[in-house]
Structure 1
Amino acid sequence: MELPLGEGTIDVDLPDCDVTVAEPPGGEPVDVPAAAERALDRPLGPSIANRAFPGDDVAIVVTDVTRATPDDVLLDALIGRLTNAGVERSDVTIVVGLGLHRPLTDDEIAEAYGEYADLVVNHDPDEATAVGHIDPAVAGEAERGSAGALGAQGVPIEVNPAVASADLVLATGMVEPHQYAGFSGGAKTVVVGAGGEPLIRYTHGPELLGRDGVRLGRIEGNPFRDFLDRAGELAGPDFCLNVTHGPSGILDVAAGSPRPVVRELADSAREALSVPVDRAYDAVVAGVGAPKDANLYQASRAATYVALGDRNPLREGGRIVVPAALPEGAGEGTGERRFLEWLSNGSSADAVYEAMANGYEPGAQRAFVLARVLREFDVYVTNSQAPAIVEDCLMRAEETVADAIEPGSDVLIVPDAIDTLLVDPDRSK
């Protein structure tokens, strides 16, 4: 069968193995421009017409190139509504929600945001401006004795200066399965994508990530998602236009207040992406493809999504195989460099996990979560342009998928591991 690799595909043939393919139901793709306009006509909460006024300074936070969000189309729809409300184009700033990822190049900005490229600025977390704090008690941490570590006022909420000073904050976003938030999108585009290091350090630290309820595909009762939503009430967005997608493309669009938008699109995503798993396998082949397989930091999501989701499909001692192109190696942003430093300097997955449990810098959380998986399972990365980096990061590099799987194995192939929810059969009904 064919699996994604970069912008193309590779042929995978495992004739000596018993192979099962996890294909989610998918769903019918929508016409995104038309669906965006329909969503804006029927928002979940007050419309842009009731929020935007002539003379307003407006910030629109958009996703970066690691997300497959059709930002140019969503910007068309949002800016059209702002124009109708009397907002001048010159009063709009578009902020790329990078978090701790590398800045986009001018060429990437032009390709991703089209005619609006001249309005775009890269977010710099070092320049973030404080807009308030979340009290530890509100953040669910008072009973854990962490107020002293966070400061008397709690967790500082900092965002890009253009966002902090805006009269109205809008955001695009992709509501897709997320390792910590359950599903991405909503307030996450602003408070993490355009946020400062203190917030990212807190939300991605070992204490919060280790709490019950922080898991792939879960929104209700998820402390990580709850914190993002509370931070969004301080920092924005006031209004978001989000999409969700499946194997066939964009499946749904919703607009309005962040919380109901995420919940509506998460329901659409679950229906399209869930695959029940009723037994355990020797190996799971986890497809990624562009843009997530540009670097190891992003591609490693495939392994953690498989092992740490609703239903772990692996037998004890099993392996995860991830074909990934990795033209950027480990990655070029601050988080990516910290990821590489922790893993490449670790003597073992156990050693990395135990050291990181005492704390780490923002961006390194991907190493912490990956180390958790590597304590139990081997991870192989195949077909990459950076095999030495893979090996340095406590994983195994092989030339092909077939080279990474022992003959006679019982194999589950997940062609799109980032956008497939492996679930317990009892929860798939």
Structure 2
Amino acid sequence: MQKFSIPFGKGHIHFELPDEQVAGVLLSHAHEYKAPKSEEELVADALANPIGSPRLSELAKGKKTCTIISSDHTRPVPSHVIMPQLLAELRKGNPDIDITILVATGMHRPTTHEELVAKYGKEIAEKEKFIIHVSRNDADMVSIGTLPSGGECLINKAAVNTDLLISEGFIEPHFFAGMSGGRKSVLPGIASKITVLANHCSEFINSPYARTGILEGNPIHKDMLYAAKAAKLAFICNVVIDADKKVIAAFAGDREQAHYKGVEFEMKLAGVKPVPADIVVTTNGGYPLDQNIYQSVKGMTAAEATCKDGGVIIDCSSCSDGHGGEDFFNTLKQADDLQKAMDEILARDRNETIFDQWESQILLRLLLHFDIIMVTDAPKDMVEAMHLKYAANIDEAFAMAKKLLAAKGVADPKVTVIPDGVSVIVK
């Protein structure tokens, strides 16, 4: 028997499978990588030796204001490790610099004070100046140009009306931007809903280049690069983390050069070969990335890359925050015919994109090829309203999967397990 322990919320789900039933296990090498130094030392080294840029303390000299773009509560960025060092480095170069931390919520709900404390620590959360980005607040946005795709590039004025714009974040595989980090802190991080909707249009999401691990030829990435440049993002500090959300590498400096160095490191760790199977078990890496169904689609796309057509994906995600997007939920709930719903999305022009359409589009793509069973804390009626199947536990999910496959003539299904679906690039 093979024993498995996969992340689920702030805990784990444990199960066993007979050896002969396991086709393979797809695991990022980041989970076995041993960092040469502590988290704090890795970040300190990166800041002391920036890539393609002067030190942050040098950039801060002569500047009156600085805005730091920081990831929100849905991302496991270890800001409690990174932010103190960014603040110290800025004030080392300019003790009087006026610093604002701009929380990049993208299209997510606003981050709460409790989440700020959990993310940064009580001292920073209560002493530093914060602005929570809200993409729907048109009055907060300033136009900085036109995206290569043709959409207007509008971003938060706090990022425009500053002498120095920098960002912190992390680098991991992303299911349509290719990789997270770097330029993504600007678009969608602090962009207007208008800009995000144009960038996340159905045409781009449908592109074969808008996939996990792909940057070259990716139209979404191209727009994001433009936005970061137009915003004058001067410096980034991005980290790579392991399964325990600990820093194992850090990259600081120029927004593109430092990001690409980090991407190169992550690609070596995250790349895994597909092991086709009738059943694929995946997760969203546990909390905070599995807070809702919206985010959990990411882990499902890893399973998509290795599940046999007509197979079953078992997604284990806590989803303590529910569906994660009203528009996302309603699109699926109102879809009496999945193919028709997909055709309607694909027919929409870039300027007709609706909220959460991209997530709906990707989930529909999956549902048109696979049965998806969710082991989750989300309400059963919510899950089933979205054309997903609900299982109270992993054993029930396996029994359901075998029954579904038996009806299709598959008598002895094999299983591939992806313990952390957001940490791998299946190629």
TM over 0.5: yes
Separation in 1 of the partners of 2:216 and 2:254?
A: 17
Q: Which residue of 2 aligns with 1:369?
A: 362
Cα drift, residue 55 of structure 1? 4.7
Percent pairwise identity: 25
Q: Which residue of 2 aligns with 1:53?
A: 61
Q: Which residue of 1 aligns with 2:381?
A: 388
Q: Which residue of 1 aligns with 2:44?
A: 37
Does the 8 Å CA contact 2:63/2:163 hold for their aligned counterparts?
no
Separation in 2 of the partners of 1:55 and 1:399?
A: 55
Does the 8 Å CA contact 1:131/1:234 hold for their aligned counterparts?
no
Q: Which residue of 2 aligns with 1:207?
A: 203
Q: Residue 298 of structure 1: SS of its match in structure 2?
A: helix
Superposition pairs of residues 11-160 of structure 1, within 5 angstroms: 11-15=14-18, 18-19=21-22, 20-26=24-30, 27-29=33-35, 30-47=37-54, 48-88=56-96, 91-114=98-121, 115-117=123-125, 118-125=128-135, 126=137, 127-134=139-146, 139=148, 141=149, 154-160=150-156
Separation in 1 of the partners of 2:93 and 2:218?
A: 37
Separation in 1 of the partners of 2:249 and 2:241?
A: 7
Cα drift, residue 107 of structure 1? 1.1
Pick one of 397, 419, 423 that aligns with 1:415.
419
Cα drift, residue 390 of structure 1? 0.9
Q: Which residue of 1 aligns with 2:405?
A: none
Instruction: Name the stretch that deviates more: 161-170 or 28-37.
Output: 28-37
| AA matched with 1:107 | E
Q: Residue 16 of structure 2: SS of its match in structure 1?
A: coil
Cα drift, residue 74 of structure 1? 1.1
Does 2:311 correspond to 1:305?
no
| AA matched with 2:255 | P
Superposition pairs of residues 182-201 of structure 1, within 5 angstroms: 182-201=178-197
| AA matched with 1:74 | I
Listed as ranges, the gaps of 5+ residues in structure 1 are: 142-153, 424-429
Cα drift, residue 305 of structure 1? 3.0
Cα drift, residue 265 of structure 1? 1.0
Cα drift, residue 220 of structure 1? 2.1
Does the 8 Å CA contact 1:128/1:158 hold for their aligned counterparts?
no
Instruction: Name the stretch that deviates more: 60-69 or 266-275.
Output: 266-275
Does the 8 Å CA contact 1:13/1:402 hold for their aligned counterparts?
no
Does the 8 Å CA contact 1:129/1:159 hold for their aligned counterparts?
yes
Cα drift, residue 251 of structure 1? 2.1
Separation in 1 of the partners of 2:145 and 2:362?
A: 27
Q: Which residue of 1 aligns with 2:268?
A: 271
Q: Which residue of 2 aligns with 1:148?
A: none
Cα drift, residue 87 of structure 1? 4.4
> Are residues 113 and 159 of structure 1, via their aligned partners in 2, closer, same or farther at CA, if it must alter by over 3 Å?
same
Does the 8 Å CA contact 1:58/1:168 hold for their aligned counterparts?
yes
Cα drift, residue 78 of structure 1? 1.0
Cα drift, residue 272 of structure 1? 1.5
Does the 8 Å CA contact 2:281/2:303 hold for their aligned counterparts?
no
Which TM-score applies when normalising by structure 1? 0.88
Separation in 1 of the partners of 2:41 and 2:394?
A: 40
**Deviation by residue 1:141-181 (Cα, 9 ceiling, x = unmatched):** 5xxxxxxxxxxxx4221111211101110100111100111
Cα drift, residue 88 of structure 1? 2.5
Superposition pairs of residues 327-366 of structure 1, within 5 angstroms: 327-331=320-324, 336-359=325-348, 360-366=353-359
Does the 8 Å CA contact 1:380/1:398 hold for their aligned counterparts?
yes
Does the 8 Å CA contact 1:202/1:208 hold for their aligned counterparts?
no
Separation in 2 of the partners of 1:202 and 1:374?
A: 25
Cα drift, residue 17 of structure 1? 6.4
Q: Alignment length, in residue pairs?
A: 397
